[in-house]
Amino acid sequence: MEIKKTSLNKLHQDNKAKFVEFAGYEMPIQYSKGIVEEHKFTRTHSGIFDVSHMGQLFIYGDDSLTADLEKIFPLNLKDLKVNSSKYSFLMNENAGIYDDLIITKIDGGYLIILNAACKDNDFKIISKLLNDKYRMNLEENRSLIAIQGPKSAEILDLILNGAKDLNFMTGNWFYYKDQKLFVTRSGYTGEDGFEVSIPNDFAEEFTKKLLENGAQLIGLGARDTLRLEAGLCLYGHELGLDKTPIEANLKWAISKERITNGGFIGSDKIINQINEGTPQIRVGIKPEGRLIAREKTKIFNEDELVVGEVTSGTFGPSLNGPVAMGYVEKEFSQKDTKVFLEVRGKKYPANICGLPFYKKSYVKGATK
């Protein structure tokens, strides 16, 4: 199968990117300065991430669309304001997660941002659940550019006047050279930031404008270290069909009204787990010393019994030490519980800790 390339591929090449194949796309994992420096630059300044491989699903319909989507997603969409966004899940009847996503109410419908590896399957599932009643478009003609970090609002506002006035988890249409861009104030790094949906033909030119104003290109490697420090899940690691939102410690993403009333796919399992508890739960793990515990590392208790498994682990540049997330049996999920991580046949001490590792720097209100 031919590997796809995003509209920014030439720009990545010109900037000496090192590429990897990810979800069927050739994507930059890092540039010449390396993952640690890219990570730190995003935390202190502003990084540009090409996330055009992700799915941009536009669904348009009449008043019944909201009610039909509420049968699918565990959100109170009828009270969601136009241009407001929510984090949610596409689940099966057993509350297993097909994908996690961001859904934004727009004029006449919704924009749903899907994970790259899941987007085609998501489209089929959602289309079938909606009985092909509505106009659905998994947009291939638009790129998605994320700009993240404390200087992002200042930089983006120089190009799109008024972007800095957006509140966190809201969006709006902007114009760039007569082209319509949809901008949301959101992201995947734990920093203040934006995601810009832009026609493919203008993506490179727009990104060069960001670069001219002081932002730098950042690869998928630093995107992963940033999200892990921020305690954010990655589909295929912390999330999958074998995990529920409650086990993933994401109850906060389910509207309270929907927990009470149910009526969405997987609601019976969700409500049962909220009431009865779950055998396992996602936690933060802080290894002692400098050990990095990668995915699938076994977690042991003090009696040398396996009590869980690491789902993501890396070196956290902002913390100057290793961090990890994983699932453990509920009785070992309390903060400061001593556990052991088996790496190359040897067990190393670690402690269960709260998430995030790095304090999220989202902007609560607009920066006027």
Given 229, 254, 288, the domain boundary residue is 229
- Look at residue 121 and tell me if it is in a domain: no
Mean pLDDT on 324-334: 98
The pLDDT tens digits of the residues spanning 307-323 come to 999 999 999 999 999 99
Mean local confidence (pLDDT), 52-68: 97
How many folded domains does the chain comprise? 2
Q: Do 184 and 313 share a domain, yes or no?
A: no
pLDDT confidence bin for 52, thresholds 50/70/90: very high
**Is there a single domain that holds both residue 159 and residue 301?**
no
Residue 80 and residue 257: Cα distance in Å, rounded? 13
Q: Choose the final residue of a domain: 187, 213, 229.
A: 229
* Residue 63 domain-assigned (yes or no): no
Instruction: Name which of 86, 95, 93, 94 is nearest 66 in CA terms.
Output: 86
Reported as a single tens digit per residue, the pLDDT across 260-272 is 999 999 999 999 9
pLDDT surpasses 50 at 367: no
Do 307 and 212 share a structural domain?
no
Q: Are residues 192 and 336 in the same domain?
A: no
Residue 307, token pair as written in the block? 């009590």
Q: What pLDDT sits at residue 344?
A: 93
What was the pLDDT predicted at 359?
Answer: 86
Same domain, 159 and 37: yes
| pLDDT tens, residue by residue, 233-258 | 999 999 999 999 999 999 999 999 99
Last residue of one domain, picked from the residues 229, 260, 290: 229
Residue 8 covered by a domain: yes
Q: Are residues 49 and 197 in the same domain?
A: yes
Residue 80 lies in a domain: no
In 3D space, the residue among 302, 79, 83, 75 whose CA is nearest the CA of residue 171 turns out to be 83
Q: What pTM value is reported for the model? A: 0.96
Tokens of 315: 């070196």
Three-class DSSP category at 195: strand
H-run or E-run covering 7: none
Amino acid at 365: G
Which domain, by its residues, includes 200?
A: 4-53+140-229
* 3-state secondary structure at position 33: coil
Place of tokens 């009204």: 257
Q: Name the residue type at position 232.
A: L
